[in-house]
Amino acid sequence: MIATHDAKGTRMAAARVGIGGPVGSGKTALVERLIPSLLARGIDLAVITNDLVTAEDAERIRRSGLIDPARVSAVEAGACPHTVIREDPSLNIEAADDLERRFPGVELILIESGGDNLASTFSRDLTDFWMFVIDVGGGDDIPRKRGPGVVRCDLLVINKTDLAPHVGVELAPMLAQALDVRDGRPVLLTNCRKGEGIDAVVSALERDVLFRA
């Protein structure tokens, strides 16, 4: 376990990491791959999912057997989920606070939310770091469109790399364009179906959010 208390013995709040992106890009699949990888590295974890009017994603993760179902909370936005991760994140803040109260040792809370297509962003009041997930099936022109989610996130994840040859996408130029629109800030490639690239995402979280390295 990493230190969760400072030198004076004060407990440090859990890091809060947002995972956003268009519907179908693989956000929940990424969470399902991250959970075992993070747990294997000894990270005490909880998850919040945001859905429109259901708890579909939360139920999927609770049933996965990957994590104690009590550590998975659902926020039902009642509107496009971007409203509760940016404009008024109070529902998510309360859900995260509640998880920290119920699991005092929790070090990392993943907050998944779709919504608002390429313009979705997370409030700094809610998250310490946020990832944006796109996929090659959406087209290799997605980075060039310079959506705020693509440009402003702390880490851009391009998922479903295995589909590239089937949808006429060349990964190398897509990656180069993503790095270009982000002025060289991090971009990682994943294939969540097979777990490829997940270790790099976990390492980025360990370095930039959990300060392990």
Tell the smallest beta-carbon distance from residue 207 to other proteins (Å): 8
Q: How far is the CB of 163 from other proteins (least distance, A)?
A: 30
Alpha helices in 41-186 (DSSP H): 56-63, 90-102, 148-152, 171-181
Q: Tell me whether residue 121 or residue 159 sits nearer to other proteins (CB atom).
A: 121
Whose tokens are 């959506």? That residue is 147
Q: Which of 14/66 has CB closer to other proteins?
A: 14
- Token pair 């998880």 in the structure block, residue: 99
Q: Alpha helix locations (H) across the chain?
A: 27-40, 56-63, 90-102, 148-152, 171-181, 198-208
Nearer to other proteins (CB atom), residue 111 or residue 209: 209
Nearest to 38 by CA among 157, 211, 201, 208: 201
Nearest by Cα to 143 from 208, 189, 110, 112: 189
Least distance (Å) between residue 184 CB and other proteins: 15
- 3-state DSSP call for residue 182? coil
Binding site for other proteins (CB under 8 A): 3, 6-7, 10, 12-13, 15, 86, 119, 121, 124-125, 128-129, 148, 152, 207-209, 211, 213
Indicate the residue among 58 and 108 with the shorter CB distance to other proteins: 108
Could you tell me the smallest distance in angstroms from the CB atom of residue 17 to other proteins?
10
Nearest distance, CB of residue 35 and other proteins, angstroms: 21
Q: In terms of CB distance, is 58 or 118 closer to other proteins?
A: 118
Q: Is 163 helix (H, G, I), strand (E, B) or coil?
A: helix
